[in-house]
Amino acid sequence: MNLIILLLPIIAIVLMFRSQKKRQQQQQQMQTALEPGAGVRTIGGLYAQVKAVNEETVELEIAPGVITHFTKSAVAAVLDPQEYDAIINGRPADDELPEPEAEDAEPVEAKPLTLTKDSAEKGDAEGGAPASK
């Protein structure tokens, strides 16, 4: 019983270090994969395009003609070209496109709302307000 109590925290610590190391490796691979022309998102939520990659920094174009310098660790994600284009230009992804309405569908006739005494007596069945007592 005492052995289980001692092993549980040790196992938890080993698992935490292992997952942290895995995340660091993924971050390192992403930073080495940076190349000019790629769309990125920074840790601050800024979307930009990579213009140049240096040893420790990366030059990002945040607006046409506006280039800023960030550390490589400030880049949170490298985006696919389609995803970057959709975010920057506001284009929906292919699966989010609205479906065209059917041409043979009959339009729904909207009944105008009336606030007359007659409709109040009829109640909600006819679309009027419920009768007050």
pLDDT digits (tens, 9 = 90+) for 86-114: 888 886 655 555 555 555 656 566 666 66
pLDDT confidence bin for 115, thresholds 50/70/90:
low
Residues 6+ apart with CB under 8 A from 52: 36, 58, 59
Tell me which of 32 and 130 has the higher pLDDT.
32
Average pLDDT, stretch 57-75? Answer: 92
CA dihedral 108, 111, 112, 118 (to 10 degrees): 180
pLDDT digits (tens, 9 = 90+) for 6-25: 888 888 898 888 888 888 88
